[in-house]
Amino acid sequence: MEIVIPEDIITAMKLPKGEAERELRLDLAVILYQRGVLPLGKAAKLARVTKREFLEELAKRKVPRHYTERELAEDVAFARGE
């Protein structure tokens, strides 16, 4: 899928040249994660950042992390070496 954004809209965004795509990807990923549409890993992939960088961005924007019981169980199993 490709989304085409008219040049006048990109100009109106008042972002430094070359940063529009990065910012739009990050904003879209955060919004979709916040709404529960994308899990953390896929949202980070959409934003083209690491999971750690995405978590830092969520914290910066005060977006709570979705942490399910399944994720907790996986983390506990990993910590136990299972």
3 lies in some domain: no
- Residue 70 pLDDT grade (very low, low, confident, very high; cuts 50, 70, 90): confident
The token pair that represents 63 in the structure block = 């977006």
Q: Does a structural domain hold residue 8?
A: no
CA distance 46 to 21: 11
Residue 6 belongs to some domain of the structure: no
Using an 8 Å Cβ cutoff, are 58 and 66 in contact? no
Structure tokens at 15: 């972002």
* pTM, to two decimals: 0.78
Residue 71 has a pLDDT of 76
- The total number of structural domains in the chain stands at 1
Residue 9 located in a structural domain: no
Does residue 5 lie in a domain region? no
* Residue 74 belongs to a domain: yes
Is 25 inside a domain boundary? Answer: yes
Domain span including residue 50: 16-79
